[in-house]
A and B are shown apart, each in its own frame.
Chain A
Amino acid sequence: MNTAGQIVRKDLRRFWGLAALATGLMALDACNGYFGFTAIIRPSPGLDVVLALIKWPVVFLFVVGLVQEDAVGGTQAFWLTRPVEPLGLLGGKLAVAAVTLVLPYALGQAGLACAIGSSAPVAFFIGVEATGLMTAVVVAAALLGALTRSLLHACAVVLGGLVLLLLLLALSGQIDARLVDFLPAFSSQISATTRLVAGFGFGLVGLLVALQAQYRRRRPAVTAALVVGTAVAAFFGGGYFPLQLVAEPSPPAAPARVAPAAPAPGVAITLQGPAYEAGFSRFYDRQAKRAADRRFVAVPVQISPPEAGRFVSLKTATSALTYADGTRRTFARVNSGVSENRMALAALKAALGLSTGPRPNPSYSSRLNLFSLDPAENPVPPTRPARLEVQLGFTEFAYAVEAALPLARGATLTRNGETWRLDTVRFDAQGQLVVEARQMHATSLLYPKGRARPDRQFSSTFLHAVVLHNRRLNEFSIGRSEYPRPAFDSGGFVAEQRLAHKFSTVSSPDPDKPGPRLDARWIADAELLILALHSSGDFTQTLTVENFFLRHLAESPPPFWQQTADRTQ
């Protein structure tokens, strides 16, 4: 008689309800990942998060119950005095978990990856990863179930473990620093992914060995020693693993860093006033191991892009002062911090062929950070007149259409391992059209190439623009971003972010006059365009200011709540 088979039949009959619930939740989560049910059901803030996470406690309860159905500890279990092989019993329990948890989860995640356009190898490795993850959860829960006498006992142990974990995390800063100093392996050339995979593998094998020892009714000290040994093996085995299993993700395919269409001197910069101390920021210097307050010196400027609709962003400034006696004082590069929102809207309108405003070449007032004064390294403010030369680093951006979708709920576009899907298209009470789109992609730790890189990020929702385009009239309606939500990743393999926009009027050629309101007829001929800002290149430009000086600087940095006191000249 096959013991495992008999146990599988018995336990499936016993736990069909919980098994169906766990499997159903996993299937629902996978389907929700594609179809986005939770976005349709309102109000649903965080419902998808709940749906993604709720399966784990259910899996835990199911596995602990499954194991405790035939108790491993004690002397009262029915199976102990029947011809039931311990390993057959364990095999049966794991087979039930494999059929009801591991397999559905792996298939669901791999299927979801396929559905959103991942390649076959990526979907395969996601299936492998999902199998490993769920197997580890099942084995850990099974071991906990085998070591405890009741569900309540198991839950208490989990809570105790969480408290311990929090304590460890609280100490982790010191622990990390000491370990990094202590373990040379952490500075080896083996990839972090390999270490993670190796540590995970050692941990999983160790948990299985401890579990079978518990089923074979070894002394409790043996199981305890195996659990501790597993933790040590996972930690050190992963840290010192000598073979490269998975390569570090190759550098991302850089977007085309081509020279911009019209390089410097394309940007006109006009000083609007004297330099001033623009506050300070506290920096932690890792090498010097000290925190220092850096005082920024800034100047108000007016920036005009080379032509309307071009979006240039000032990123860095590197300053040098040349005094009359020929001495020269240089400063470290600083982030210049120029506001760019209005320029982005103008760039979007230009990209869509809309009027950018009455002035052909709009300009924007902003603050230009010139340099910083570090009290330790560069404490003396430049109070003597000098010639200031600032090398400004610019990045030029351009909008590109990422997706064009029919304006209908459920419309889907899958391309290059990524899927866009419209979950919501409806009018709200104010008569505005609400459109919610989801962007999804799958990543794999075991296949860190191309678009499946595990560190792949969505571009920020703020760098997206969503536009309705009426093809018949060639008119546009620019959406206003609503409750932008950061990318959501519940520890699964498919990440998503949502872009919700409201549309009320057709964009007018004259920015000062609102266009006509959207109506059903206009919308009937509309499609949805999703655009994203992409860097199209970097360039530098030098700004020269003669006779530059600061009258005085504050004796000491102001408190942090007085960051931008204008106290110069």
Chain B
Amino acid sequence: MNAIVCENLTRRFGRTPALQELTLTVPEGSIYALLGPNGAGKTTTLKLLLNLLRPSRGTARVLGLASTALRPADFRRIGYVSEDQLLPEWMNVAQLLAYCRPFYPQWDDALAARLRKQFDLPSDRALKHLSRGMRMKAALLSTLAYRPELLVLDEPFGGLDPLTRDDFVHGLLELAGDDRPRTVLLSTHDLDDIERLADHVAFLAESKLLLAEPADALRGRFRQIELTGTAPAACAAANRPAAWLGWREPSPTVVQFVDSSYVGGRTEAALSVRFPGARLEVRPMTLRQIFLALAREQRAAAQEAA
């Protein structure tokens, strides 16, 4: 069962494409990270999914409903927290919760109280007098308290200090059982916290989807390869597989690249055959490293095309 299904989702602002042909599936129960540099189309994707924007082409289904047919009542099942959302900042946290509560029949006061304590939010200070991180926490609190089936977070870590970010991630991770939204979709270009939070990732760049898969599978198929004692000329550019990214030759006898189709054992054997006598070093990559490798490759390709 999938929480979100996009097919060829496209949005243009005038002649400028903000998102092109996005086909994506977010499984129910996953924490799905939408990664990409600024301007990649992450926020546009989320706004299309929540019917805040209309697609120029393509379709999306959210919790089984066409995104363009989402009605206000459907937002009882969907939570949305964004860094650029206009909160009623004249309210304090208690007033914000009191304002939101009547809209949700499933509102859980006990959970709200517990989260407020966990987030260490003062109840009597107006939101405009709180730090940015505190405001984000307040927004998250007002969303988690009604146990949404789908939680959509748009750049939730933007501008937050490491401590607040850690609180925020912990706040999500420490939610147990029914308290935790069944599916979380978040967009970010801040990768440090995604490592421990997301179980699925998708990379967007230049308004196109580069890849989308489970984080473990991604981490499994990306490796940093270093070959020592071999001549780079042994592998001319034209002969390199497309799965090899970021080819570098730091010295005449050292070659480094990222293999995006690593298969344990088989890759090593193939490289031994291709580079006989070379010393092979294979290092696992973090999501951050994978993201950087993909982004650089994309940028280089764009520059070449230009």
CB-contacts of B28-53 with A (<8 A): 47, 50, 52-53
Known: A75-B47, A75-B52, A75-B53. A84 touches B86 (CB 8 A): no
Nearest-neighbor residue (CB-CB) of B80 within chain A: A81
Query: Could you tell me which residues of chain B, from 76 to 105, have a CB within 8 Å of some CB in chain A?
Result: 76, 78-80, 82, 84-88, 90, 95, 99-100, 102-105
Q: Tell me which residues across on chain A come within 8 A of B103, comparing CB atoms.
A: 1, 3, 6, 82-84
| Candidates B72, B82, B95; contact of A83 at CB < 8 Å | B72
Q: What's the tally of chain B residues with a CB closer than 8 Å to chain A?
A: 26
A13 CB, min distance to chain B CBs, angstroms: 8
Determine if A69 is an interface residue (Cβ-Cβ < 8 Å): yes
By the criterion CB–CB under 8 Å, are B86 and A82 in contact? no
Task: Check if A69 sits within 8 Å of B88, measured CB to CB.
Answer: yes
Whether A78 touches B87, Cβ cut-off 8 Å, given contacts A10-B99, A84-B103, is: yes
* A86 in the interface (beta carbon within 8 A): yes
Q: Is B75 an interface residue (CB 8 A)?
A: yes
| Interface SS of B by simple majority | mixed
Tell me how many residues of A have a C-beta within 8 Å of chain B: 19
Residue of B nearest to A14 (CB): B90
Q: Which residue of chain B has its CB nearest to the CB of A75?
A: B52
The reply on B234 being an interface residue by CB < 8 A is no
B259 nearest CB across to chain A (Å):
40
A138 at the interface (CB under 8 A from B): no
**Which of A69, A71, A81 has a CB less than 8 Å from the CB of B52?**
A81
The answer, yes or no, to whether B73 is at the interface (CB within 8 Å) is yes
A85 within 8 Å of B (CB atoms): yes
Question: How far does the Cβ of B91 sit from chain A's closest Cβ, in whole Å?
Answer: 8
- Docked complex Cα distance between A69 and B100 (Å): 16
Distance, CA A522 to CA B103, complexed state (A):
74
Chain A residues numbered 178-197 whose CB sits less than 8 Å from any CB in chain B: none
Please determine whether B84 and A76 come into contact, CB atoms closer than 8 angstroms.
yes
Complex contacts, B84 vs chain A, CB 8 Å = 76
Among candidates A3, A6, A76, A83, residue contacting B85 with C-beta atoms closer than 8 Å: A76
A80 an interface residue at 8 Å Cβ cutoff?
yes
Contact partner, A71, options B53, B72, B86, Cβ 8 Å: B86
B72 adjacent to A82 (CB under 8 Å) = yes
Complex interface residues of chain A between 55 and 96 (CB less than 8 A to chain B):
69, 71, 75-78, 80-86
Residue with the greatest number of chain B CB neighbours at <10 A, chosen from A3, A69, A82, A84: A82
Cβ contacts B61-80/A at 8 Å (1 or 0 each): 00000000000111110111
Bound Cα distance from A75 to B90, whole angstroms: 20
Structural contact, B72 and A86, CB atoms closer than 8 A: yes
Hey, which bits of chain B sit against chain A, CB under 8 A?
47, 50, 52-53, 72-76, 78-80, 82, 84-88, 90, 95, 99-100, 102-105
For the complex of A and B, list the 6 residue pairs with the smallest distance between their C-beta atoms, beginning with the closest.
Answer: A81-B80, A75-B52, A1-B102, A83-B75, A83-B72, A76-B86
Between-chain CB contacts (< 8 Å), 13 pairs = A1-B103, A10-B99, A69-B88, A75-B47, A76-B85, A78-B86, A80-B52, A81-B50, A81-B75, A83-B72, A83-B73, A83-B75, A84-B103
